[in-house]
């Protein structure tokens, strides 16, 4: 299979973003569906659902809203490249065009951590983005987390969750009622 020029997905980052999750470059299924982490065996959505307390089977737009409410943004280090297939190892060296992350980071005053989804994302961040970080982003924790990709089959979902729980202190907890009524109760006096 010959390498093809691929264009990444737009950033899903909001003003209240506290944690920015960066992949390397979306896989073929994600690009085809124009949705982050669309491959059915990618563990990103079950993992984030567990961390941010939402149902991983929600429609894509709702899952993105849940991430936004939790203070999580999603993008990739690489915005364009040549690649055959979906593997990071198939990216043609020298074809990478990096997303404008330094400009984005300078617009996120609430940002508290950057989480790289996999070794390739972390290596690309360190190589191309870290040297150009804006003053606001210097000193932010940059976590190299294990990839949620199905290609990283050695990591089970529970094992991934254990490592990704490092993000927990920066996530915005979902709002819950102070004293929820027991099932079947309306909260009114009888």
For residues 106-128, average pLDDT:
96
Mean pLDDT value across the chain: 91
- Provide the number of structural domains found in the chain: 1
The pLDDT value recorded for residue 90 is 86
- Per-residue model confidence (pLDDT) at position 189: 36
Please state, in angstroms and as integers, the Cα–Cα distance from residue 109 to each residue in 15, 72, 149, 169, 177, following that order: 8, 14, 30, 17, 29
What is the average pLDDT across 91-109? 95
pLDDT in tens, 162-190: 999 999 999 998 765 454 444 443 333 33
Average pLDDT over residues 108-132: 96
- Examine residue 124 and state whether it is found in any structural domain, yes or no: yes
Confidence of residue 16 (pLDDT cuts 50, 70, 90): very high
Q: Is residue 165 part of a domain?
A: yes
What mean pLDDT comes out for the span 139-146? Answer: 97
- Determine, yes or no, domain membership for 141: yes
The answer to whether position 186 is within a domain reads: no
- Dist CA 33 CA 49 (whole Å): 20
Residue 47 covered by a domain: yes
State the pLDDT at residue 184: 41
Backbone phi and psi for residue 46, each to the nearest 5 degrees, phi listed first: -60, -35
End-to-end Cα, the chain, rounded Å: 71
Domain that holds residue 107: 4-170
- Asked if residue 177 is part of any domain, the answer here is no
Q: Specify the CATH number for the domain of residue 71.
A: 3.40.470.10
* Angstrom distance (rounded) from CA 42 to CA 45: 8
pLDDT value for 176: 57
In-domain check, residue 71: yes
Q: Rounded to the nearest 5°, which phi and psi values hold at 52?
A: -105, 5
The pLDDT, as a whole number, for residue 3 is 85
Q: Is 32 part of a structural domain of the chain?
A: yes
């Amino acid at each position: 299979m010959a390498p093809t020029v691929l264009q990444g997905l737009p950033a899903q980052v909001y003003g209240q973003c506290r944690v920015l999750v960066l992949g390397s470059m979306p896989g073929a299924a994600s690009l085809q569906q124009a949705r982050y982490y669309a491959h059915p065996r990618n563990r990103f959505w079950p993992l984030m659902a567990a961390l941010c307390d939402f149902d991983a089977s929600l429609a894509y737009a709702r899952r993105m809203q849940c991430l936004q409410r939790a203070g999580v943004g999603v993008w990739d280090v690489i915005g364009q490249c040549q690649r055959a297939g979906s593997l990071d190892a198939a990216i043609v060296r020298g074809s990478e065009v990096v997303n404008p992350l330094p400009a984005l980071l300078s617009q996120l005053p609430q940002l508290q951590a950057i989480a790289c989804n996999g070794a390739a994302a972390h290596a690309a961040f360190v190589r191309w983005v870290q040297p150009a970080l804006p003053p606001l982003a210097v000193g932010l924790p940059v976590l190299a987390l294990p990839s949620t990709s199905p290609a990283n089959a050695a990591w089970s979902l529970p094992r991934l969750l254990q490592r990704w729980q490092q993000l927990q202190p920066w996530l915005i907890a979902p709002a819950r009622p102070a004293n929820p009524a027991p099932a079947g109760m309306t909260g009114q006096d009888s």
